[in-house]
Amino acid sequence: MTFTSYPVTFFGNVVLDDAGTIGQNYYLTLETGNGKNGKILYLGVAPPSQYASGDHYTLAANQLIYPGLLNLHTHVTWNFIPLWHGGPSAPTFTYDNRFEWQAPDCDGYHENVSAPEYFIEAWLKAHPPAGSPLSVDILLSAFSELQAVCGGTTVIQESKNFAYSPVHDGHILIRSTADQQDMDIPPQMWIDSAVKFYQACSSMQGGTCQPVSDAHPADTSSWAVDPTPSLSDWQQSYNAGTLYSALVHLSEGRFGFLNGGTKDAYSRHEFLAFKTLVESLDPTRFTASRFNMIHACGIDPSDADDIAFLRNYGISVLWSPVSNMMLYSDTLNLNALLSQGINCVLTSDWSPSGSKHVWDEAKHAEVFLTSQQGMSQGDARRLLYRMMTVNAAAAIGKQDQMALLQEGRLADMFVLSLAGPVAATDNAVDLLFEANDSQTSGVYTGGMLVLADTDNFTPPGFSGDFQPLPAGDGPSSASKYVNFAADGSFPGIDVTALAGAIDQAFATGGTVQVGGKPYVIQPGQFQRSKLFVTDDTPYETYMASLENWIRAQSH
């Protein structure tokens, strides 16, 4: 597709740095019409005379432009599934590690997560929404990306089949870590995403990994650590010099921080297995591969050798506290890592056991940091804001291109319409934490307008290619429009038809096979995850109960 770029200049309130400083009466000129490659051309208090002939748009007094957020850990084809939990009276599970709840005999997981996923995949193949020729993976990823966009996200971890193979996927709506052009990296390089480098085995019999059980609490100290093909794939790419970065699930389980708990033994073994492998490699070369550990609950922050390993090899930790606490009633001692200089990044994980988007994850993480880590509200908020902007960009080597509104950086940003006029003395971070996703009025990826609220924001670039969000989702979706055809990649996505097809499937019900076992989806048993937090009452109710649970814990 051929693009013709042109400038658009905004006048109004702009976030100037990662501390939340607000610039009033600023001009921001972005390059639009250049695919996802548009950059910020100008930012300043004087009118940009060189762009005087371009389009101009004046923001309302209550509107504020933020840099786009980065979410480096999610699972895009699963984010339509509602939360899996034990109810408000028991909002968390007590698994030791992820291999217990993923075990073949864990009916709770398969009934509430695997079964609805496989059921919807089969339904969409049999009943393509609006006759769409697109694959089911693309359709479900489109829904997930839109949910992220509603929360101000402009970069998302994505390889649609990364749980099974290192597929190099193109983007749909926002930047995909699996797309070299999106991430502006050399075509021979790539960002690896892997769901597991190791498989837990109850024992090794004749060299064969024997499956574990979901029985818990369990003594996992005798479990074996079995390398998977994903580890071999990563090693081959590392040796070939084609790794730009890696986002890898490692040692996910009980950390041993809350309620005087103990660390899951298997998770510790998994971390040590990888540590031993990496310590045979050159630290300088490994650091250049920008390795990120997702979860990383096997780390012992009191072990100087662990901390030295993370520092020497330039490893960042991707933290998903909501998912950790929902599944293990525990999460990282974040302060212990931060205080020793480890780069930590906030991420949302997936909708069955995580937040709807990384902005909402930050709100629940704030409760943890203030009630369990002794932080002031202001310190917690500013830390979390950095963890989903500049820290995240640094983790994947994009600290000079993303996460801040500065000339020459990619024009990834979102516009909030706040409750009242923005004052120069306000702090943008506080305003973000006190707002909600219904106030997202516009989102840009590389200068492309992909989401607009026509009640509050109709800038140049809003056109007939935009389609309304599903009206049945709730008032937050009303007046909001999305453009899947913004860069010509996927013009055939009808989001209302897609959401309607998922809703119809859940309303109808049926039977699906998971691991050779039939699971019945009862009519009305599941309700699709809504696009906005503020339209999803069951989600909001559960998250309120989780926050109360967090406040009641000890450490």
- Give the confidence band of 170 by pLDDT, cuts at 50, 70, 90: low
pLDDT of residue 475: 96
pLDDT at site 9? 97
**Residues 349, 390: one domain?**
yes
Residue 150's pLDDT band (cuts 50, 70, 90)? very high
Tens of pLDDT, residue by residue over 193-225, are: 999 999 999 998 888 999 899 887 788 999 999
**What is the per-residue pLDDT across 354-389, written as a single tens digit (0 to 9) for each?**
999 999 999 999 999 999 999 999 999 999 999 999
Shared-domain flag, residues 439 and 361: no
Averaged confidence pLDDT in the chain: 93
Is there a single domain that holds both residue 35 and residue 153?
no
**What per-residue confidence (pLDDT) applies to 530?**
98
Most confident by average pLDDT, 137-151, 167-181, 256-270, 376-390: 376-390
The least confident of 93-102, 274-283, 370-379, 386-395 is 93-102
Dump pLDDT digits (tens) for 445-479: 999 999 999 999 999 888 778 999 998 999 999 99
Q: Is the pLDDT of residue 10 over 50?
A: yes
Concatenating the DSSP letter of every residue in 129-162 gives GGG--S-HHHHHHHHHHHHHHHTTEEEE---TTT
Q: Where residue 27 sits, what CATH number does that domain have? A: 2.30.40.10
Res 164: pLDDT: 37
Q: What's residue 186's pLDDT?
A: 94
Cα–Cα distance, 82 to 62 (Å, whole number)? 33
Place of tokens 């890592």: 337
In this prediction, residue 162 carries a pLDDT of 44
Q: Which domain holds residue 353?
A: 70-107+144-400+546-552
Is this model's pTM higher than 0.75 or not? yes
In a domain, 507, yes or no: no
Distance between CA atoms of residues 221 and 262, nearest Å: 12
**How many Cβ atoms sit within 10 Å of the Cβ of residue 204?**
13
pLDDT confidence tier of residue 1, bands split at 50, 70 and 90: very low
Q: Is residue 520 part of a domain?
A: no
Report how many domains make up the chain: 2
In a domain, 537, yes or no: no
Give the pLDDT confidence score for residue 483 in this predicted structure. 92
Mean pLDDT, to the nearest integer, of 407-412?
98
| Residues 367, 291 within the same domain | yes
Q: What is the pLDDT of residue 168?
A: 36
- Residue of 357, 361, 250, 260 lying closest to 306 (CA atoms): 250
Percent of the chain beyond pLDDT 90? 82
User: How far separated are the first and last CA of the chain, in Å rounded?
Assistant: 56
Residue 86 belongs to some domain of the structure:
yes
Give domain status of residue 113, yes or no: no
